[in-house]
Structure 1
Amino acid sequence: MKRIVKAAILVCAAQAVQNAQAVDIQAGDWTVSIGGNINAYYTSVGCSGDNVAGTALAGRALGCNGRGSATVIGNGLLPNSLITTVKSHQGDYDVQGTIGISAAVATGSAIAANSAVDVRQGFLTIGNADIGTFKLGRDYGIFGSNAILGDMTLLGAGAPVQATQNGRVALGHIGSGYTYLGTYGQFAYTSPTVHGLQGQFALVSPVDSGTGSKAGSMPQFQAQLSYSRANWKTWLGAKAQKFYADATSSDFTEAAFETGASATLGRFGLLGNVQTGRGLGILSDGDQGDVRGFNYLVQASYQPTDKLKLGVNYGVSRSLASAADAIRYNSNLTLGAYYAITKSITLVGEVGQTRSEDTSGKTARLNGVSVGGIMFF
């Protein structure tokens, strides 16, 4: 279980706020940009209900560290991150390199060194407006990126599951609305945008499932086609990988698909995303084995002033497993308020409820409150 949960935690700061308020340094032909975010949230959760089997985010084991309630002052969905980017125009090409380093706020000890460093990004890109952009290195996956980057809880905590937040991050809607987009070694290509249409394709280093099945000799494949206009966007995505059995598992192929859309209508915002497929997993690739999964997230927001944004979202991650003692679904409902006290600092307040049910019908509930703030630089 710990292995699955660790595979689910997230940092998307570089994608969410790329170059936002970054410090730029000119050195010859190179521009060095240093940016990132720092955040902290007081989260309090209470768990009730049955001892639910599987990856039950609302159960006491994961949701409340084995107790009926828990409190952490730690990160939200994003850890603290320092993102360094170097870029230059050489010949006919734009070249760029990025390294992202992250760390958590909360630990379970008052004396142990908080020295765990998480490097999710280390890649180079080359391209131009005519041929598109090629990427080589480690970065986030394509599949699921629009869902998590559009999720309002990216600036907050979403589901403040204690098993991941103490020493890492909260889960947002990972496992209760979408599967984690993952970080992979990859060769990727992003096409030029033509009349709003753009394609992304990647061969990524295959990963183990977390349930015993192993990566094989063939890479994972991910792709996305998107279409954007002034105030709306829609997308289609897919990913596939073959997993190979060990002594406790069997061969299976992950074949997953997603579709979604987002729109801004004056001060209103809407987002919806659906994922489905065999081997999709609750938290990460193939973590339920050869089982069909289904995820969806819906969100509505309203900005009454230039500084204040109010939102509500609801997500479900469902496993169609037939075996006993397996997770059936996790769901999360979050209400949030996000106030930009300055152009760099946003104060956040969220309340939410996460529910879990297993294949035997046992249910659990987690009620959570998160209050804090995030600074981008």
Structure 2
Amino acid sequence: MPTSEQRRYAYALLMTLAVSSSASAVELTAGDWKFTANGNVNVHYIASQCEEETTPGITGGLACRGAAGEDKSSSISNGLLPAAIAFGASTTQNGYDLAVTFGFYPGISTNDGSPNLQQGAELLNTGLGTTGLDIRQVFLTFGNERMGTFLMGRNIGLFQADAILNDMTLPGVGAGNGNYATPSNTSLGSIGLGYIYTDWLAQIDYTTPDLGGFKLSIGIFDPLEPIVQDPTLPAPPEKEPGVHGKISYTRGAIYLSASAIAQKHNGNTDAQDFDSFGFDVGGKVTLGDLEVLGWYYQGKGVGTTALFLFSDDRNGHERDSDGFLAQVTYKFNDLKLGVNYGESNLDLADGELPSDLVKTNKKYTAGAYYSLTKNLTLLAEFTDTKAEAHDGTENDSSNFNIGAYLSF
């Protein structure tokens, strides 16, 4: 049988932790192998009230702005998660637990390119389009309860993973991420508004067995280039892999964790080289129907919103960043009410002059999540998002969403 760590990875964390921890919807046995499948479909009506387009924009600001004279927009879209289906196979051979996972994540919004990188496209939603497919998970695991577990392949990263996995907006929408006249595959939730997106990385990791409630994971990942670079000067390839790690502790109703990430970046010249390092720390406490949680992160050369976005000034000078997410939820039988607040800050590099670069993105979300059945959740959320630039420019937007999340 797979170890608990293999199950944690193999059964699509972003789906199962959002709504339920039930076993896979489909389990088939063929010889010594067990095959599983599970997933979700989520659909939301999202109405956005964006900042007036006459107000100056903010580079990296996450409050949406109007376009073509219209400040309001609406969409029928996925939320923070795309739809998903994950297939797994596992067996035990010679005392080792072996498993593989393939995770496929389609959206429902028209998007002919990358579901992630095409956000904010200039073209409006038209007929004759199709949705995109995001293949986030392709990995293997091997190990046992005595030696621990190795994971090799593409899967969710370790840095900031707990923040997003415990975000109450995971089955919902949170921050709407833009004017929905040009919808993208997913919303933001609290990404860039309390934590940096952990992302899905090609990686090789090792996780220890349970050590009295403690678990330690450490590994390397395929290095990432900074997202914002000089387009006329392609950067040389990174020389070394990135490194990430995580330690967690579970005792009864208490869960604590800390994670870290580090990577060296090679610029076009030696002077443009820079190093990135970030860490987070946080936890949650569950007292009956009440759950309280918080995570804080800090980084140098890590950037904001996405890994290594606006991480330096393109001259090798790192920008510092930090932020936090705080959340309280309470269950009344099948109804869960919650509120969370998140804030992400980005400092200027040494010697950098004030500009329209984002200084702070922050938001709050109030949500209601009703479990109509064990697998079907009906929900409604309201989110207000504010962005401020280093030159003092401010943008404000809000969005309301109502929808359903069905896991299987």
Say whether residues 1:314 and 2:341 are aligned partners. yes
Q: What residue is the counterpart of 2:303 in the other structure?
A: 281
Which residue in the other structure is 2:292 paired with? 270
Supply the AA of the counterpart residue of 1:318.
N
Task: State how far apart, in whole Å, the 1-side matches of 2:91 and 2:69 are.
Answer: 51
Q: State how far apart, in whole Å, the 1-side matches of 2:210 and 2:264 are.
A: 31
- Residue of structure 1 equivalent to 2:87: 84
Distance 1:161 1:205 in 2: 27
Letter of the 1:56 counterpart:
G
Q: Partners of 2:300 and 2:203 in 1: how far apart? A: 22
Q: Which amino acid aligns with 2:97?
A: D
TM score, norm. by length of structure 2: 0.85
Give the % identical residues.
32
Q: Distance in 2 between matches of 1:66 and 1:37?
A: 37
The reply to whether residue 190 of structure 1 matches residue 207 of structure 2 is yes
Q: Which amino acid aligns with 1:155?
A: P
Q: Deviations over 1:141-185 (max 9, x none)?
A: 001111001100001001011368813101000011100001111
Query: What residue number does 1:7 align with?
Result: none
Cα distance between partner residues in 2 of 1:112 and 1:214:
39
**Unmatched 5+ residue regions in structure 1?**
1-10
Partners of 2:17 and 2:136 in 1: CA distance: 12
Amino acid at match of 1:129: E
Q: Within 5 Å, which residues of 2 pair with 1:53-68?
A: 53-60=58-65, 67-68=70-71
Out of 265, 269, 273, the position equivalent to 1:251 is 273
1:103 to 81, 101, 106: 106
Q: 1:346 to 1:280 in 2, by over 3 A?
A: same
Deviations 1:270-303, CA, capped at 9 Å, x for gaps: 1100000112221212111221001100000111
Task: Select which of 119, 130, 133 maps to 2:146.
Answer: 130
Instruction: List aligned pairs for 1:1-377, cutoff 5 A.
Output: 12-13=14-15, 20-48=23-51, 50-60=55-65, 67-107=70-110, 108-162=124-178, 166-212=183-229, 216-246=238-268, 250-288=272-310, 289=312, 290-305=318-333, 307-321=334-348, 322-323=352-353, 324-377=355-408
Counterpart Cα distance in 1 of 2:179 and 2:21: 29
CA offset digits 1:299-344 (Å, max 9, x no partner): 0011111x11000000001101253221101001000000000111
Tell me, yes or no, if the aligned pair for 1:208 and 1:214 is still in contact at 8 Å: no
- CA apart distance, 1:113: 3.7
Partners of 1:156 and 1:172 within 8 A in 2: yes
Q: Following the alignment from structure 2 to structure 1, what is the Cα–Cα distance between the partners of residues 51 and 299? A: 31
Query: Greater strand share, 1 or 2?
Result: 1
Higher mean C-alpha deviation, range 92-101 or range 114-123: 114-123
Paired residue secondary structure (1:60) = coil
Shift of 1:82: 0.8
- CA-based RMSD of the aligned residues comes to 2.0
The 2-side partners of 1:65 and 1:160 are apart by 19
Matched residues, number: 363
C-alpha separation between the residues in 2 aligned to 1:298 and 1:280?
A: 21
- Aligned-partner Cα distance in 2 for 1:343–1:14: 12
Structure possessing the higher radius of gyration over alpha carbons: 2
Following TM superposition, the consecutive aligned residue runs of length 4 or more in structure 1 with deviations greater than 6 angstroms are none
- Partner of 1:3 in structure 2? none
